[in-house]
Structure 1
Amino acid sequence: MAFEERNLAYDLSLFEDDDKQYTTVPQSTREKTKSGANAAKKKPSAETAEDRNAEKGQRKKYSPLKVLSSVVAGLFVVGALATIIMGQAQLTELNRSIEKKTEELKQKQSQYTQLDMNVRSRYSTAIVEEYAKDELGMSKATNYQKEFVNLSDGDKAEVLTEESQNIFSTIVDAVTGIWS
């Protein structure tokens, strides 16, 4: 557990011989790592990116084109989300109005059924016949009151022809009459 809390850098170049020629690490790098290892031994605190930038004296520069593109992309995302939310709100309102109209339709159908049953019970055939017999003094028609009409005197067909006004049409009609 004690090893997890430490943030020390290990310099393996300390174990190498300086006289050997197969060393690939340049001398200047070795000196930096030795001084960095000594500094790490003296001060075991972790550096942050802000500390490094402050030491360098540099501030990160932002490109105006990148900032503008980020702002436009952000506005596009916000606009898309606003459109989706507005669409969902309208959809919810329409669903509520459909539900209200459906409930109103059910009530009207129930009322229609109820009124239809009342009308049928009041004006049934038996009740109308009884009212006509008792109140109006009417009775059913008998055979001697019925008069039958005969409409079948045979089938007739009449052809209407126009009278010819000139002699040529009468000759043509006569010739066609012969051939037919």
Structure 2
Amino acid sequence: MANLSEAYDFSLFEDRIGQSTAPIGEPGSREQRQEQKRENVIELPQKELDKNRQPKRHPFRMIAATLCFTVIFATVVSIVYSQVQLTELTEEINIATQQLQEEQSLEVQMSMQASQKMNGAQVEEYAKKELGMSKISEGQVSYVNVVQQDKGTVLQDTDGGSWFDKILSAVESWFA
């Protein structure tokens, strides 16, 4: 632990002149390795290079790909848009349902208050005192006899009318 700064000494990692930098386990010098690498390189003729290059895009394929992308994109956008509309409508329905329930609750509450304020006896008393009304007596009742049947009379025009009216009345007489 005499020298603690060895980890920061970058000169230990530099190439040294005159020493071989060949890793241990690999026989030979640097020149021999470079020669081996050169032997591994294969040069292709120009024809093969042209053949292996990326082919040019056909305009028909580009148009077809663009159309496919456009159709898929439009489909996704329309699905998202319809989901947004569906969500908004559902929210409006929920709000309307909540308002309906509140109004029905208010109606029940008000009808109970009204029934507590006026029962049958109170209404009768109010009618006698304030409006001057009384209960029905036998002299006020009159009976109507409806045993006889009602008679109806159909009046027809005797001057004949137009030829269309005559045809219409003939058809009506067939179904009567």
Q: Which category of TM-score, normalised to the shorter sequence, fits these structures?
A: 0.3 to 0.5
Relative contact order (alpha carbons < 8 A, sep ≥ 6): 1 or 2 greater? 1
Q: TM-score, normalised by structure 2?
A: 0.47
Q: What TM-score do you get using the length of structure 1 for normalisation?
A: 0.46
